[in-house]
C-alpha cells in the first residue's frame, strides 16, 4: 500500500513517495510455522542417500554438471529383503544348529575338515539370530527402533559372517587340496587337530579385525522423523568409507577366492587323471571331493560373487562426478538386490556338511536318543 504526500511549496508534479508500512496489515510470518529442513552436508564432495519409505532421494553435492537430486524408487527391497531373510532364518537356524549338535556329539572323532565346518556353522548361526531385526526393519520401510548399538552389531555380524564363511571355505578347500594332491607330505601329516584349532582362532581374529571398522561406519540417523540404520555408512562418512570398502573386498573376498580357484584347478586336474590307486575307498574320496567343489563354487556363485561385484561397482560409481541419475539408480538397485542373497550361504553351508561329512550324518532320532542318554547319565552321576 502506497501513500502519496504533496509537499507544500513544491510543484504538484514533484512527489515524495513513501511506503506506509504502518498502514499495511501485518502479514503472518510463515518462517515461524515452517520448520527448516536441514541436510547433513558431507565435508567432501559426494552423495547423500536418504531412504524414505517408498523411495530414496540422493542429493549430489560438489559435482559440476551433475543433477541436483535423484529419486530412487525402491519398493522392491521392502518385499525382497524381508522375504529372503525370513527364508534364511527359517532354514538356516535349525540346519546350522543341527550341524553343531551333530559335530559336538562326535567330538572325540573330529577331523580337521569337521573342525572347520563347526566354526562355519557357529558363524552362520550367530548371523541368523540377528535376522529378525533386519526383517522388521525392511518390512516397516526402513524404520529402526532398536537403538544405535544394535544397528552397529547387526551390520558387524553380517560382514563377520560373510567374510568368515569365505575364509573357512578357503580353509576347507585347501585342506581337501592337500588330502588329494599331497596326501604323503610331512607338513600335511603333522597338521593335526590342535593346529587346526589355532587356524580357526586366527581366522576369527582376522575377520574381527577386518570388520571392526563397521562399528564406526554403520550407525543410526534421523531421516524424515524416523530412525534409520545405515548399511554401509551415513552420508557424512561416504568419502571415508570408499577406501575401506575397497580394501575389505580385496582382502576379504578377492584373495581368498583366488586361493580357492587355484586349489580347485589343481584338484580337478588330479581327479581327472587316469591311473593311480583304485578301489571303493579311493572312489568315495574322489566323489566327496567332487561334491565339495560343486557346493563351494555354488556358494560363491550365488552368495559371494554377485554381492561383491555389485557393491564394488556401486561404491565406485557413486564417487564419480557427473553420473546421471538413471545410471546411479541402476547400480544402487543392483547392489541392494544382491544384498539378501549374500546371506544364503547360511543355508548352503549345512548342505556342504551333509555332502562331505558322511560319517557325521545322523538322524534326528539318533541325536535325540544320544542327548537323552547323556542327560540321564549326568543325573544318575549327580544323584550318586
pLDDT score at 14:
42
The residue among 90, 118, 91, 92 whose CA lies nearest residue 106 is 118
What SS3 class is residue 4? strand
Is the residue at 6 inside a domain? no
Per the structure, the count of domains in the chain is: 1
pLDDT tens for the chain, 384 residues: list them.
444 444 444 444 444 444 444 444 444 444 444 444 444 433 333 334 434 334 444 444 333 333 445 666 667 888 889 999 999 999 999 999 988 988 888 777 788 888 999 999 999 998 898 899 999 998 988 889 999 999 999 999 889 988 999 999 999 888 888 877 776 666 656 667 788 899 999 999 999 999 999 988 988 888 777 888 888 888 778 788 889 999 999 999 999 999 999 988 888 888 777 555 565 666 667 777 777 888 888 888 888 999 999 999 988 887 777 778 888 888 888 898 898 888 888 898 888 777 666 665 555 555 555 555 555 565 555 555
Containing domain of residue 293, as a range?
Answer: 72-357
The residue among 299, 284, 289, 308 whose CA lies nearest residue 351 is 299
CATH number for the domain spanning 294: value is 1.20.1070.10
Is the residue at 307 inside a domain? yes
Is the residue at 67 inside a domain? no
Is the residue at 305 inside a domain? yes
Task: Judge contact between 77 and 138, C-beta under 8 A.
Answer: yes
CA distance 379 to 384: 9
CA distance 28 to 31: 9
Is the residue at 111 inside a domain? yes
Is the residue at 34 inside a domain? no
Is the residue at 152 inside a domain? yes
Q: 45: left (phi > 0), else alpha (psi -120 to 50), else beta?
A: beta
Is the residue at 382 inside a domain? no
- Threshold 0.85, pTM exceeds: no
Concatenate the DSSP letters of all residues of 49-111 into one string.
EEEETTEEEEEEES-TT--SEEEEE-TTHHHHHHHHHHHHHHHHHHHHHHHHHHHHHTGGG--
Amino acid at each position: 500500500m502506497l501513500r502519496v504526500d504533496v509537499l507544500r511549496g513544491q510543484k504538484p508534479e514533484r512527489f515524495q513517495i513513501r511506503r506506509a508500512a504502518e498502514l499495511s496489515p501485518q502479514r503472518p510470518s510463515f518462517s515461524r510455522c515452517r520448520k527448516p529442513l536441514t541436510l547433513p552436508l558431507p565435508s567432501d564432495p559426494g552423495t547423500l542417500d536418504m531412504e524414505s519409505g517408498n523411495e530414496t532421494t540422493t542429493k549430489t553435492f560438489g559435482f559440476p554438471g551433475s543433477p541436483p537430486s535423484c529419486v530412487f524408487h525402491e519398493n522392491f527391497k521392502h518385499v525382497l529383503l524381508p522375504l529372503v531373510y525370513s527364508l534364511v532364518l527359517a532354514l538356516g537356524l535349525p540346519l546350522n544348529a543341527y550341524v553343531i549338535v551333530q559335530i559336538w556329539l562326535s567330538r572325540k572323532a573330529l577331523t580337521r575338515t569337521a573342525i572347520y565346518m563347526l566354526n562355519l556353522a557357529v558363524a552362520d548361526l550367530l548371523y541368523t539370530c540377528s535376522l529378525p531385526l533386519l526383517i522388521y526393519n525392511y518390512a516397516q520401510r526402513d524404520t529402526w527402533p532398536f537403538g544405535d548399538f544394535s544397528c552397529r552389531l547387526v551390520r558387524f555380524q553380517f560382514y563377520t559372517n560373510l567374510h568368515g564363511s569365505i575364509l573357512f571355505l578357503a580353509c576347507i578347500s585347501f585342506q581337501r587340496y592337500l588330502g588329494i594332491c599331497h596326501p604323503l607330505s610331512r607338513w600335511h601329516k603333522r597338521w593335526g587337530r590342535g593346529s587346526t584349532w589355532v587356524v580357526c582362532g586366527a581366522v576369527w581374529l582376522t575377520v574381527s579385525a577386518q570388520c571392526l571398522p563397521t562399528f564406526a561406519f554403520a550407525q543410526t540417523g534421523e531421516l524424515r522423523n524416523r530412525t534409520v540404520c545405515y548399511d554401509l555408512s551415513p552420508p557424512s562418512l561416504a568419502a571415508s568409507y570408499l577406501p575401506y570398502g575397497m580394501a575389505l573386498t580385496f582382502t576379504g573376498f578377492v584373495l581368498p577366492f583366488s586361493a580357492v580357484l587355484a586349489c580347485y584347478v589343481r584338484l580337478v586336474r588330479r581327479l581327472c587323471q587316469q591311473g593311480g590307486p583304485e578301489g571303493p575307498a579311493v572312489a568315495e574320496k574322489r566323489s566327496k571331493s567332487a561334491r565339495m567343489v560343486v557346493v563351494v563354487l555354488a556358494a560363491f556363485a550365488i552368495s559371494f560373487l554377485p554381492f561383491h561385484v555389485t557393491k564394488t561397482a556401486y561404491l565406485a560409481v557413486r564417487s564419480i562426478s557427473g553420473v546421471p541419475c538413471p545410471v546411479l539408480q541402476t547400480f544402487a538397485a543392483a547392489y541392494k538386490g544382491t544384498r539378501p542373497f549374500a546371506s544364503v550361504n547360511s543355508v548352503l553351508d549345512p548342505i556342504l556338511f551333509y555332502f562331505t561329512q558322511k560319517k557325521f550324518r545322523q538322524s534326528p532320532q539318533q541325536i535325540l536318543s544320544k542327548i537323552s542318554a547323556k542327560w540321564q547319565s549326568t543325573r544318575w552321576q549327580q544323584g550318586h
